[in-house]
A = this chain, B = another copy of it.
Amino acid sequence: MRDEPAGSKMELRLWLRLLSCSNLISAEIRRRLRADFDVTLPRFDVMAQLHREPNGLRLGDLSRRMMVTNGNITGLIDRLVEEGLVVREADPDDRRAITVRLTRAGATMFRMMATAHEAWIHELFGGLRPKAVERLLDDLQGLKLSAVAGLRSADAD
């Protein structure tokens, strides 16, 4: 007897449910960001990272933090620069490197968006009891650990 079959099916259901929650919510956040601020989620994410680093971030660090490829960041920053929300600055110590930073307009805009964003999340998550929020935080942490372990075991193959 193995415990896989039944367990596997439940895990599959869990994965589908997780994905549908995540997609449902992120689609709604994207919709509202677009409707209220004419901004996309990836742009919002970039601005969120930059907002916590007043001295700016190198492009490589930004792409690592956002877990996306370098080539992706280039285009994202291009558009944010066009809109005057972000500036590129040469690094005096390393001529390969470029640092990006929010402009004053970018920082102001981000603060407005962040306030709205937090309220939206509360609208969407507010139906959960605090206990359930705690449990989910815990269990999702467990899932993350499990997944990271699963990643590594496949690496070793």
Which A residues contact B (CB, under 8 angstroms)? 4, 7-8, 10-15, 17-28, 32, 67, 118-119, 121-128, 130, 132-137, 139-151, 153-154
Partner of A130, one of B7, B12, B123, B145: B7
Give 28 A-B contacts (CB < 8 Å), ordered by A residue.
A8-B121, A10-B133, A10-B134, A10-B137, A11-B122, A11-B126, A13-B137, A14-B137, A15-B125, A17-B137, A18-B25, A18-B136, A19-B22, A20-B144, A21-B140, A21-B143, A21-B147, A22-B22, A24-B147, A27-B67, A28-B150, A28-B154, A125-B146, A128-B142, A128-B146, A136-B139, A136-B140, A136-B143
